[in-house]
């Protein structure tokens, strides 16, 4: 009889760590799914952006839950003023990345970028992107939340 009680005690002792690990794993999966489902509300709104590369200048971006819009007046290498517009850059559902097309003057432009939420190191949300125009201009866009 005493031997049977000891074997049951050993069974409970071995099952307890497995149960604890399984509980922590279920909690971690649920916590990760909950966090990645929605962008922080602070991410949305107006941004001031700066252009660099084959063109230079500044402008504004607006971030909504599903899209990014960028408008700016920039200067090309010859000093000509050109309008840069990308009215509907779609945000990927599972990340903070966005992409799409627009126009820089008469040339088409493809844009790919990302949004970085607030953090303790820098504080404000950031936007960065790379663009390529159909006439070969390449550059970067960077900015921060207003």
Does residue 129 register a pLDDT over 90?
yes
41-145 CATH pick, 3.50.50.60, 3.30.70.20, 2.40.128.120, 1.20.1280.290: 2.40.128.120
Which residue do the tokens 């936007």 mark? 127
- 27 or 146, greater pLDDT: 146
Which of 39-48, 66-75, 110-119, 134-143 shows the lowest mean pLDDT across its residues? 39-48
Q: Return the percent helix, strand and coil in the chain, to nearest 5.
A: 25, 50, 25
pTM (two decimals): 0.70
Give ∠ CA 45-62-89 in degrees, rounded to 5. Answer: 130
Mean pLDDT on 4-8: 64
Residue boundaries of the structural domains of the chain: 1-37, 41-145
Residue 10 host element (H or E)? helix 2-36
- How many helices (H) does the chain have, and how many strands (E)? 1, 8
- What dihedral angle (degrees, nearest 10) is formed by the CA atoms of 106, 145, 141, 100? -60
At 117, the pLDDT band (50, 70, 90 cuts) reads: confident
pLDDT in tens, 41-96: 578 899 999 999 989 999 999 999 899 999 999 998 889 999 999 999 999 987 78
Which residue do the tokens 């960077």 mark? 142
Neighbours of 47 (CB within 10 A): 23
pLDDT in tens, 20-39: 666 777 777 765 544 445 55
């Amino acid at each position: 009889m005493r031997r049977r009680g000891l074997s049951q005690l050993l069974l409970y002792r071995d099952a307890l760590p497995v149960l604890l690990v399984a509980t922590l794993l279920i909690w971690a999966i649920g916590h990760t799914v909950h966090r990645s489902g929605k962008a922080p509300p602070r991410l949305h709104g107006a941004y001031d952006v700066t252009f660099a590369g084959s063109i230079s200048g500044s402008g504004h971006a607006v971030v909504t839950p599903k899209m990014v819009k960028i408008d700016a007046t920039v200067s090309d290498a010859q000093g000509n003023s050109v309008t840069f517009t990308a009215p509907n850059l779609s945000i990927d559902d599972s990340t903070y990345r966005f992409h799409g097309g627009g126009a820089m003057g008469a040339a088409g432009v493809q844009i790919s970028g990302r949004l970085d939420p607030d953090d303790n190191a820098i504080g404000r949300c950031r936007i960065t992107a790379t663009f390529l125009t159909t006439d070969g201009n390449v550059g970067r866009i960077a900015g921060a939340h207003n």
